[in-house]
Structure 1
């Protein structure tokens, strides 16, 4: 056994032990960053260390400071786990170590990306001719789509952002719902578009189409982008796409949909009606690490007009090998990048069409069970209509809600993060992990009841 093989075997055994311990270990980390620093050591060694010893030190020192994100009882943020086929494929991604920017450099990667992109567009019921890029996450997927939107609406106004930049050109209006996700604002900042114009949303966070129409007709005509959402971060609600897109079309606006986790509703016949009208937009962003459960990192940027995506993101150097069919480099901001399409292909191949639908419906079923269980807890109120995978609940007052959250984290059975929504502190549950089962739901609800009783 050579040094590389021995290091890989060491990593393999540590990985299996970590995964096997997830059902029983506390979900929150048990050590602080400062404690992990001491365990790892702060002095750079004067000479080499055998690779297997490095792997062993890394695994044993860091294990107490790891949060059980892959656990079926992690319900904070919107974080999926990793399906077995996708995890194994991701190990191959590192071992293969491909440069994934050119078709000529890695035909295998280009093939996997072509197939995975076509399967995704089909599952999400989006136009088959759309361009698709595999980004680091939903924020960069939003950025990629909004950069294409920016250039396209400026081109329609007679200004080339690619040639002349933004300075001196028409200002691009970006109109959003007031209850949007912060990643939209970040992406707009990266794209040089500044702060968006918010319009009112309803009590579930859905944009109000009439308010959107009024905002779009106010003031002088300008290059305009409208951002809608599939899946509100708190309520899981979906914007009314047909009415909102009609209003946007009247203003000749580009329509982008931020669907980080909610766009996957389209893959389920039962939940697809939530996305009715969504395919009529111009671009869509989502994150395969969330509902599809592939490893970090894997955002997806999809643009109806593939040429607009290539015009915004494509770049060539004399030393690169350009393929007339297009290259992965044409669809995303990065030059250096992981082979993200390999795990996506593996997840989709393992699940199949029915498996993706079943996964979405199982997550939604667990969210409904959480809502029912929490509603029965003394002093608890579920604040949202549970239409997808998100549940927001509050207790008698903000102070008690925060006490429940803190006691839950101290208990360790689950991780449920707090937030503020509609002026109230809330317990926010996101059901995103493929491995969450009925027993995980029951154990989490028992923990909520204990925390509520103690608070």
Structure 2
């Protein structure tokens, strides 16, 4: 009994040490460089050691992970990260993640986790209501928007082939009757990846030209018969633009087809009634894909697939085995690509309950307001804003592509904020994504100040030097330069 008590005491101490370390990181992330310096990157060599013959002390392992690993993280959970449409993490989401990890539930079936099954039902209802999707829409939690897209597209594939008299789950795709797939010119690369994953092909598609904001031009939809799968977009990854859903749905209504919407971050615009002009007709789709770890700021990873008819998901993903009990309630493993799965719905439940309907609305509106502030300040400072800022994305250029690339390198080396490069109309542009719940108007102004300061440094250099390394004035180590005070 004494040995058992000692073992439990050690386990308790390991968890307390882990919690203290995590709290230390979470409490200091806003004061860190947004990207690690060279010393932090060099220190990662400490992880390259032979697998020990005799195991190490658990607390020592945690302390090493913190001492070496934490300085080498990207501070994407802070308020000055503007890259890749990456959300931060609400404290309630992080806390729920800790508790859910302690639960260690397999959310595959209700019998495996009654709490996960109950939270799924609650969160499904909340999301469908919040996003004003058709009543009865099925919701499946997966790893991210790529797999959410793939899950929806696989369901669309099987439904469309079923209308042609073909059972794809029984007979596969060899010899299956063809149908058309239509995407926009500015469709995200992960949509093409998903089309490839489900056997519909990345290149075997009809591509519709886009306008200057990346919106699919509905007036150029092809003259084809059904069945047809149309993939639209809510939130172009560079500009944040929304495809014209009503005209697309009208075109599709004259054919036998399926409308899917890739809304990795843009789908959350449905939560803000003031953005009705962006989302008109979005509810007419048959499926939608989004992320929770972007705009909603839960931890990685959390993708959400919505399908209008639950039977379409089950047709594609149901799995049977002799040891599986008969169904009672929503069975996640029969509606998602994965069987075993963590209870992602727990964090979504916590964040939605904590924010409420108005809190989610303010989160979306606040991101747009911060993005608009950044765009205005940069335009006033001489940069060219390339997009209509309709949500959380800002696309800018300084003079030309090469000068913009030099500016991006300067900003990233500076370390106080981070934003990345993209290609737009054949030249480099800077993409700024406002996705953190922490980023307010003061942070937006700070980000604009940093970018303009870096632009001045780039502009002061001879033209031939702009493609070289950032100036020596850009810090590469030590504490970051002045930031707005923490609140």
Given candidates 149, 160, 168, the residue that maps to 1:153 is: 160
Q: 1:62 & 1:36 partners in 2: Cα distance?
A: 9
> Structure 1: 5+ residue runs without aligned partners?
none
Q: 1:299 & 1:11 partners in 2: Cα distance?
A: 27
Q: Please show how residues 304-315 of structure 1 align to structure 2 within 5 Å.
A: 304-315=308-319
Given candidates 204, 209, 215, the residue that maps to 1:200 is: 209
1:440 aligns with 443
Q: 1:410 & 1:37 partners in 2: Cα distance?
A: 19
Q: What's the CA shift for 1:336?
A: 2.0
Give secondary structure in 1 for the equivalent of 2:141: strand
2:248 aligns with 244
Q: 2:134 & 2:366 partners in 1: Cα distance?
A: 26
Deviates more, 1:42-51 or 1:277-286: 42-51
1:452 aligns with 455
1:282 aligns with 286
Deviates more, 1:64-73 or 1:312-321: 312-321
Q: 1:46 & 1:285 partners in 2: Cα distance?
A: 46
1:300 aligns with 304
Runs of 4 or more above 3 Å deviation:
31-34
Q: What's the CA shift for 1:158?
A: 0.8
Deviates more, 1:317-326 or 1:108-117: 317-326
Cα deviation digits, residues 49-96 of structure 1 (max 9, x gap): 121111111111112210001011100011001111111111111100
> Structure 2: 5+ residue runs without aligned partners?
1-7, 459-487
Given candidates 386, 392, 397, the residue that maps to 2:395 is: 392
Q: What's the CA shift for 1:19?
A: 1.7
Contact preservation (8 Å) 1:136, 1:298: yes
Contact preservation (8 Å) 1:3, 1:50: no
Q: 1:130 & 1:32 partners in 2: Cα distance?
A: 50
Q: Please show how residues 401-412 of structure 1 align to structure 2 within 5 Å.
A: 401-412=404-415
Residue 143 and residue 33 in structure 1: after superposition, are their counterparts in 2 closer, same or farther (change >3 A)? farther
Question: Is the aligned partner of 1:28 residue 2:38?
Answer: no
Q: What's the CA shift for 1:33?
A: 8.8
Given candidates 417, 421, 426, the residue that maps to 2:420 is: 417
Q: 1:39 & 1:151 partners in 2: Cα distance?
A: 50
TM-score by length of 2: 0.90
Question: Is the aligned partner of 1:227 residue 2:231?
Answer: yes
Contact preservation (8 Å) 2:41, 2:72: no
Q: Please show how residues 121-136 of structure 1 align to structure 2 within 5 Å.
A: 121-136=128-143
Cα deviation digits, residues 243-298 of structure 1 (max 9, x gap): 01111221211000000000000101112331111001100000011111111111
Q: Please show how residues 45-444 of structure 1 align to structure 2 within 5 Å.
A: 45-195=52-202, 196-212=205-221, 215=222, 217-218=223-224, 221-378=225-382, 380-444=383-447
Q: 1:159 & 1:104 partners in 2: Cα distance?
A: 34
Q: What's the CA shift for 1:41?
A: 3.6
Cα deviation digits, residues 307-353 of structure 1 (max 9, x gap): 11111112121112231433111221111211100000000010011
Contact preservation (8 Å) 1:377, 1:452: no
User: Which protein is bigger by CA-based radius of gyration?
Assistant: 2
Q: 2:313 & 2:252 partners in 1: Cα distance?
A: 20
Give secondary structure in 2 for the equivalent of 1:132: strand
Q: 2:227 & 2:251 partners in 1: Cα distance?
A: 15
Q: 1:33 & 1:146 partners in 2: Cα distance?
A: 42
Aligned-pair Cα RMSD in Å: 1.4
Aligned length: 449
Contact preservation (8 Å) 1:234, 1:391: yes
Q: What's the CA shift for 1:424?
A: 2.2
Q: 1:290 & 1:45 partners in 2: Cα distance?
A: 38
Give secondary structure in 2 for the equivalent of 1:271: helix
Contact preservation (8 Å) 1:266, 1:273: no
Residue 316 and residue 33 in structure 1: after superposition, are their counterparts in 2 closer, same or farther (change >3 A)? farther
Q: 1:93 & 1:172 partners in 2: Cα distance?
A: 43
Q: 1:371 & 1:442 partners in 2: Cα distance?
A: 10
Give secondary structure in 1 for the equivalent of 2:273: coil
TM-score by length of 1: 0.96
